[in-house]
């Protein structure tokens, strides 16, 4: 019990100072509950409103992807430079040190491998397990236009219901099927559907033309996937164009962990995302870091 003797009695109630009631700056997120906002703040850096998510969940349908054969050796050393890690619960429990205290985005859908119809996914993790793992968000693939479109959208809406119950944001991941055109019209459609149906934020792909219309028409933050490995300077250009056109960051995998020097690459990407560094300058920074011992 608190000691009642000798307590300080001079109160300062600041009666003439209006109560600070700050809006939550993240796009479309001001009306969310405290727990969801708190978790989103462990994904999007509050000082920039952006994130560098390191995506390493590829194994859930691709198996041991190049660069992810030994996550303990290739990815764990990159963790200090990521704002958020996107992974499966198998990799999280087996390989990621629990001393990693930044946001975890848990892959929560799955089912088919690359040998089957990819859109035939189901929910692949309980919300209780997500809570147990103390994750910042759960991620679910949405196949707009795909063979199992409705099923994948239902996966997302069910996760949104479960996530809202416990204050866990849902990342809607737009999966572009082989037959879909990768253009702004498709990305607008897919990302808007995710947002309308309750995703707290959306991952989509950058497109060369009119990407700003994709971010503009989506009422919640958009992050972009990196896609297939490209030369480092091109990947930095991609990240730069995306954030300049309204993306709130990247959810980048192969262009980081398959880079010639992944540790240098993730730091260069962070410069582009958080400091608006021009891609050519960020590439110089990459070159400097990669030649350092």
Binding site for ligand R5P (CB under 6 A): 55, 57-58, 86, 173, 225-227, 251-255
With respect to ligand R5P, which residue has the nearer C-beta, 32 or 58?
Answer: 58
Quote the tokens at residue 112: 């088919």
With respect to ligand R5P, which residue has the nearer C-beta, 32 or 195?
Answer: 195
Class of residue 113 by CB neighbours under 10 A (exposed 0-12, middle 13-18, buried 19+) = exposed
Contacts of 1-7 spanning 24+ positions with Cβ under 8 A: none
User: Minimum CB separation from ligand R5P for residue 225, in Å?
Assistant: 4
With respect to ligand R5P, which residue has the nearer C-beta, 24 or 100?
Answer: 100
User: Minimum CB separation from ligand R5P for residue 175, in Å?
Assistant: 8
- What separation in angstroms does the CA of 46 have from each of 41, 187, 195, 279? 6, 26, 21, 23
User: Minimum CB separation from ligand R5P for residue 25, in Å?
Assistant: 25
With respect to ligand R5P, which residue has the nearer C-beta, 32 or 119?
Answer: 119
User: Minimum CB separation from ligand R5P for residue 111, in Å?
Assistant: 14
- What separation in angstroms does the CA of 99 have from each of 41, 106, 113, 136, 229? 18, 17, 31, 15, 30
**DSSP letter, residue 67:** T
Q: Which of these is catalytic: 102, 116, 203, 278?
A: 203
Which residues does 259 contact at the CB level (< 8 Å), separation at least 6?
229, 232, 235, 265
Is residue 203 among the annotated active site residues?
yes
Residues annotated as catalytic are: 203
């Amino acid at each position: 019990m608190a000691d009642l003797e000798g307590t300080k009695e001079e109160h300062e109630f600041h009666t003439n100072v209006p109560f600070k009631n700050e809006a939550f700056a993240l796009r479309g997120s001001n009306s969310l509950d405290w727990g969801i906002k708190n978790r989103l703040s462990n994904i999007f850096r509050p000082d920039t409103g952006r994130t560098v998510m390191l995506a390493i969940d590829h194994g859930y349908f691709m198996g041991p992807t190049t660069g992810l054969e030994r996550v303990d050796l290739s990815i764990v050393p990159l963790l200090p430079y990521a704002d958020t890690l996107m992974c499966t619960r198998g990799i999280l429990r087996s390989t990621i040190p629990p001393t990693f205290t930044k946001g975890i985005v848990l892959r929560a859908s799955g089912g088919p491998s690359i040998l089957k119809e990819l859109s035939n996914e189901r929910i692949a993790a309980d919300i209780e397990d997500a809570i147990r793992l103390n994750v910042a968000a759960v991620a679910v693939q949405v196949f707009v236009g795909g063979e199992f479109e409705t099923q994948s959208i239902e996966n997302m809406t069910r996760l949104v219901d479960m996530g809202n119950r416990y204050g866990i944001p849902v990342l809607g991941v737009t999966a572009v099927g082989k037959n879909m055109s990768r253009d702004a019209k498709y990305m607008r459609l897919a990302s808007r559907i995710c947002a309308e149906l309750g995703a707290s934020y959306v991952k989509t792909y950058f497109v060369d033309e009119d990407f700003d219309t994709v971010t503009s028409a989506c009422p919640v933050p958009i992050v972009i996937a990196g896609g297939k490995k490209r030369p480092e300077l091109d990947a930095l250009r991609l990240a730069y164009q995306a954030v300049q056109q309204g993306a709130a960051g990247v959810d980048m995998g192969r262009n980081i962990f398959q880079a010639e020097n992944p540790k240098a690459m993730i730091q260069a990407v962070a410069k582009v995302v958080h400091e608006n560094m021009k891609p050519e300058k960020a590439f110089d920074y990459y070159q400097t870091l990669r030649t350092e011992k």
